[in-house]
Amino acid sequence: GQAGAVRHGISKALTRFEPELRGVLKKGGFLTRDARTVERKKYGKA
């Protein structure tokens, strides 16, 4: 959700300023983007 997106954004910003943090953040799963998207609306449904 939004909290995960904020966490991801802050983690990416941190790696820009402190590149040595990348390994730790990657191991913690903070740099992995959640690729799921909202399914589109379908016509003819209530």
Residue 22: domain span? 1-33
Q: Are the beta carbons of 23 and 29 closer than 8 angstroms? A: no
Mean pLDDT of 5-21: 93
pLDDT score of 45 more than 80: no
Specify if 44 maps to a domain. Answer: no
Say what the pLDDT of residue 13 is.
Answer: 95
Q: pLDDT tier at 17 (50, 70, 90 boundaries)?
A: very high
Q: Are the beta carbons of 31 and 25 closer than 8 angstroms? A: yes
* Element (DSSP H or E) covering residue 26: helix 22-27
Q: pLDDT tier at 44 (50, 70, 90 boundaries)?
A: confident
Specify if 29 maps to a domain. Answer: yes
pTM for the model: 0.69
Domain count across the chain: 1
Specify if 45 maps to a domain. Answer: no
Specify if 7 maps to a domain. Answer: yes
Specify if 25 maps to a domain. Answer: yes
